[in-house]
A = this chain, B = another copy of it.
Amino acid sequence: MRVIIGLDIGGTKILGALYDVDGNVISKIKKKTKSNEGLEMVMKQVDKVIDGLIKAEGIELLGIGIGVPGLVNEQGEVLFSPNIPFRDFKLEKRISESYRVPVVVGNDVNVAMFGEYKHLNDVKLNDVLGIFVGTGVGGAIILGGNLFVGQGSAAEFGHMVVNVDGAYCGCGAQGCLEAYASKTAMPKYILKQLGKGRMSVLKDYLEEDGAVMKSSSLKKALDVKDELALDVVERTAKYLGVAIGNLVNLFHPQMIILGGGVIESLEVELVDRAIREARLHAMPGLMDSVELKMSTLGDEAGVYGAYRLAREKLKI
């Protein structure tokens, strides 16, 4: 049986899945990334996942697709990763030489949203964007059915400035979308509001969650109609909506896919508000021509997208 591997290398865990050429999952493996033990250890873990997957009998490995957080160039080098000790690391070359098959490496969010695109759509629409709202904000640009990365780092939707004199972002710049609509932006805003004397059940949740707000905590607070929680959701929806409006004006795409933990867990509360805001910013008439879809793959998106990207490279 001819098979392809999809690999999702994250800051804490590596997910791998073995697919047949029709997209059926044959097997899956998960291992710790062990980022803090250095590059060699990380690569040992990656090899363990791949070796585990190809142990299956009677298979012919055709290729490997990989998603990794950070900046990846067109040659499959990881220039920089925020969580993994990759620095100008020729990941594609290394894996390709070790396993003697074609390999493709992409940014994790690019790859995951490409997976969502392929899963939702499968070649009917050509020009589609994906927005991913989680700990950070990322995205994917699919043009003519292919993932567009420019010189390698396109679709950094989280670092689109929406409020130039506003909040500071983790990237050092001011006013980025990610500084308003992400799991890292939320705790900062909540702490500020609590500091002003506002009351909220989020105070306790935040002490547990730390610097990254759990969507489940926010959801619990919304269930008891906590005012600050509603305020946080409205704020997130506002900036997400501005971003959607901007992307419609810039790309006039056929579809936008909304994904990531924040959107998946808060869909009901978040998405209609965001669309209302987007309508205020998109040029007249344009929003009606753009389909909005929710992502559906959850944690599977990364490995599935990596598999689909490898399939594209292999022209299967």
Contact = CB atoms under 8 A, between A and B. Distances in A.
Nearest to A238: B164
Interface string A227-263: 0000000000011001001100111111000000000
A163 to B, nearest CB: 5
A167 to B, nearest CB: 11
Contacts of A148: 143
A151 B154 CA distance: 20
A283 B159 contact: yes
A283 B250 contact: no
A160 interface: yes
Contacts of A238: 164
A145 to B, nearest CB: 13
Given A143-B143, A160-B246, A164-B238, A150 B252 contact: yes
Contact of A157 (B151, B153, B250, B284): B250
B251 A154 contact: yes
A252 B71 CA distance: 11
A58 interface: no
Interface in A169-194: 171, 173-176
A171 B250 contact: no
A155 interface: yes
Given A161-B162, A162-B161, A242-B164, A250 B285 contact: no
A161 B281 contact: yes
Interface residues of A, number: 48
Contacts of A239: 164
B151 A127 contact: yes
Contact of A251 (B80, B150, B173): B150
A165 interface: yes
A283 B252 contact: no
A161 B246 contact: yes
Contacts of A281: 159, 161, 173, 176
Interface in A283-316: 283-286, 289-290
A199 interface: no
A71 B283 contact: yes
Given A152-B252, A153-B252, A252-B150, A171 B283 contact: yes
Nearest to A126: B150
B151 A79 contact: no
Nearest to A279: B173
Nearest to A146: B144
The 6 lowest CB-CB distance pairs between A and B, nearest first, are: A150-B252, A156-B249, A154-B252, A153-B252, A159-B249, A151-B252
